[in-house]
Copies of this chain bind each other. A is one copy, B any other.
Amino acid sequence: MENQLILNGTTVANDVKEKLKVRVEQLLQSGLVPCLATILVGDDPSSETYVRMKGNACKKLGIESKRIHLPEETTTEELLAVIHSLNEDRSVHGILLQHPVPKQIDERKCFEAIDIEKDVDGVTSLGYGQTALGFGMYPSCTPAAIITIMDYYGIDAKGKHVVVVGRSPILGKPVSALLLNRNATVTTCHSYTHNLPEIVALADIVVAAVGKPNFIQGEWLKEGAVVLDAGYNKGNIGDVDYEACLKKASAITPVPGGVGPVTISMLLKHTTEAAEKGLKLRNEKVSQ
């Protein structure tokens, strides 16, 4: 297709961060330092990298990053105790537990223990339910990033047929829910889906969230479809066969430089919003 639009995630993320900068400065001037606590359990190198990237992104914006690094042999109970103490800690506004945790830990139980007010990464079932029912505060960051990119480029989901490939709790499911709430007709596909190419061919908008490199084929697409690639596989490769899809799509996110950078900016946004709520509460108490 001619005149394709490359949906530039770095541009969108910079726009988000520019706007956040003003809000963070206002918070700092009010004497409140927004703070994201990150919990890393064990020594997985890519998890370490992700946590460091998130911490650095916070710092650049003036958000404090409280990094907690627990040993590989941490138990569920020990991790729960850390989460409970961060829930209680008024100087902490957001909590991020880096996925995955070592296998002896009940990850779901630990996610569920995060206070809904501090669930800025959108991992609790309560947060998911609120998002799906249309009044969530902090949806998972990658789904929020996809919506933000669409908004930035004026891509309206209303009445469109969206095909989401993937159904993980922090990506496929919540992005399906968010797009349904934006009045799209949503089809959620996964490993049991028969005739995936035929279903993708119906889509006005395709969201790839499957975790398989170059999985979505160009020949599957309807001419002029919008392609949003939330995949991030080894070697900076997305879930979409970019070159082939580029030929048919009317708009497409590259990997890297697409959904990824916006995802981190959503974490910053949610942490800032949680801190703003903290400030509001503090002011209400002072005025009482």
Contacts and interface: CB of A to CB of B under 8 A. Distances in A.
Contact of A133 (B128, B180, B188): B128
Copies in the complex: 2
Given A128-B132, A129-B124, A129-B129, A187 B190 contact: no
Interface in A188-217: 188-190, 192-194, 199, 202
A190 B199 contact: no
Given A159-B192, A159-B193, A192-B158, A199 B185 contact: yes
A28 interface: no
A135 interface: yes
A186 interface: yes
A159 B186 CA distance: 17
Contact of A130 (B125, B159, B202): B125
Q: Point out which of A126, A129, A180, A185 has the most chain B C-beta atoms below 10 A from its C-beta.
A: A129
Interface string A129-161: 110110100000000000000000000001101
Given A180-B190, A185-B192, 13 more contacts: A124-B129, A125-B126, A129-B129, A132-B177, A133-B173, A159-B192, A161-B199, A176-B188, A184-B192, A185-B188, A185-B189, A187-B187, A202-B202
